[in-house]
Amino acid sequence: MKRKNVTHEALRRASMRSTRASAASENRSVPAGAVRSERVERFLAVRTQRV
């Protein structure tokens, strides 16, 4: 398979779409205006630095 360069924005959109799909499969919902907490943002920043 040919490699593609994926933008940070595309990864963010994919993760949000995945989160909504996961919540929907468990009969939960993510509010439209949901905002990540500072702690979650720091956690994700550390994880993306490792990749």
Q: Tally the domains of the chain.
A: 1
5 φψ region: left (φ > 0), alpha (ψ -120 to 50), beta (else): beta
Percentage of the chain modeled with pLDDT above 70: 96
Q: Is residue 2 part of a domain?
A: no
Q: Is residue 22 part of a domain?
A: yes
For the entire predicted model, the pTM comes to: 0.49
Assigned token pair, 6: 């994926």
Does 51 have pLDDT greater than 70?
A: no
Q: Is residue 1 part of a domain?
A: no
Distance CA 18, CA 3 (A): 21
How does the average pLDDT of the chain come out, rounded? Answer: 85
Q: Is residue 26 part of a domain?
A: yes
* pLDDT tens profile 8-30: 899 889 988 898 888 888 888 77
Confidence band, pLDDT 50/70/90 cuts, at residue 47: confident
Domain that holds residue 17: 8-50
Query: What is residue 38's predicted lDDT score, i.e. its pLDDT?
Result: 92
